[in-house]
Amino acid sequence: MAVIGYMRVSTHLQKFDSQQQALDDYGVDMIFKEYESGRKSFRNELNKALDILEPGDTFVIFKLDRLARGTKQLLVLLERFNELNINFVSIENNIDTSTPMGRFFFTIMGAFAEMEAELIRERVLAGLNAAKQKGVVLGRPPLVDQVNEALELYHNTKLPAEQISKRCGISISTLYHHLRKEGVYRTKTTNDLIDMGEFMVRGTKN
């Protein structure tokens, strides 16, 4: 069973001295060194360390802020360790999930993360309800300008529907939906009729 160490500093101007000494004293088999912000969820050296961990191994850091800057990010990693049966040790914080106290810490972390998520959800719902009471229309804004521009181009130019939809930032199905809704179509060329698909029959009637 391997003991894997991980160290992190934010820039190349910072040193690993205190982290290195603590991990060496703990007796790790291998150390991964990272120059990266702790707020980034994707870190090359951290991912390398995580990839080689196997059930029964121990992952060691100097202190919690070397691994993650937020509760959610930390909890995700701890849950991964728990699922894979990997022990987690934070030397400076006296955390060792192979002990009853360490497992208790994991439980407390999970409870705080769940409470934080619930509080966020409640604030979002309260905001939505307040907006509704004020008459605010919720949801995605309508593509009024894009649709109007597309209809104008379709009616007054020879541009194919596919090109118009890309230019205006709407789908072809959206364009055809509004053409059906407003009865706007053109029959200038054979290509136009083919491009219109389901509008071909209606177009040939003129």
Q: Which tens digit of pLDDT belongs to each residue from 34-79?
A: 998 877 777 899 999 999 999 999 999 999 889 887 777 788 888 8
How many domains does the structure of the chain reveal? 2
Tell me, yes or no, whether 110 lies in a domain: no
Angle, helix 161-168 to helix 172-182, in steps of 10 degrees:
100
Of 97, 124, 153, which residue constitutes the final position of a domain?
97
Residue 119 lies in a domain: no
Task: Based on the residue annotation, tell me whether 171 is a catalytic residue of this protein.
Answer: no
Separation between Cα atoms, residue 73 and residue 64, nearest integer Å: 11
**Considering only CA atoms, which of 32, 38, 21 is closest in space to residue 59?**
32
The domain boundary, picked from 82, 97, 112, lies at 97
Same domain, 15 and 86: yes
Q: Which residue has the higher pLDDT, 158 or 96?
A: 96
Do both 148 and 86 map to the same domain? Answer: no
Q: Is residue 35 part of a domain?
A: yes
User: For residue 80, what is the domain's CATH number?
Assistant: 3.40.50.1390
Full domain range(s) for residue 166:
144-204
Phi, psi of 119 (to 5 degrees): -65, -40
Last-in-domain residue among 97, 129, 162: 97
Asked whether residue 130 is assigned to any structural domain, the reply reads: no
In the block, tokens 């491009």 appear at: 195
Please name which of 102, 189, 187 lies closest in space to residue 199, comparing C-alpha atoms. Answer: 187
More confident: 121 or 21: 21
Is the domain of 11 the same as that of 67? yes
Same domain, 9 and 91: yes
Q: Write the pLDDT tens digit of every residue in 154-175.
A: 888 888 888 888 888 888 888 8
The pTM assigned to this predicted structure is 0.55
Of 10, 37, 41, 171, which is the active-site residue? 10
Which of 162-167's residues contact partners 24+ apart within 8 Å by CB, and which partners?
A: 162/195
62-65: list long-range contacts, CB under 8 Å, 24+ apart: 62/7, 62/18, 62/19, 62/22, 62/23, 62/90, 62/91, 62/92, 63/90, 63/91, 63/92, 63/93, 64/90, 64/92, 64/93, 64/95, 65/38
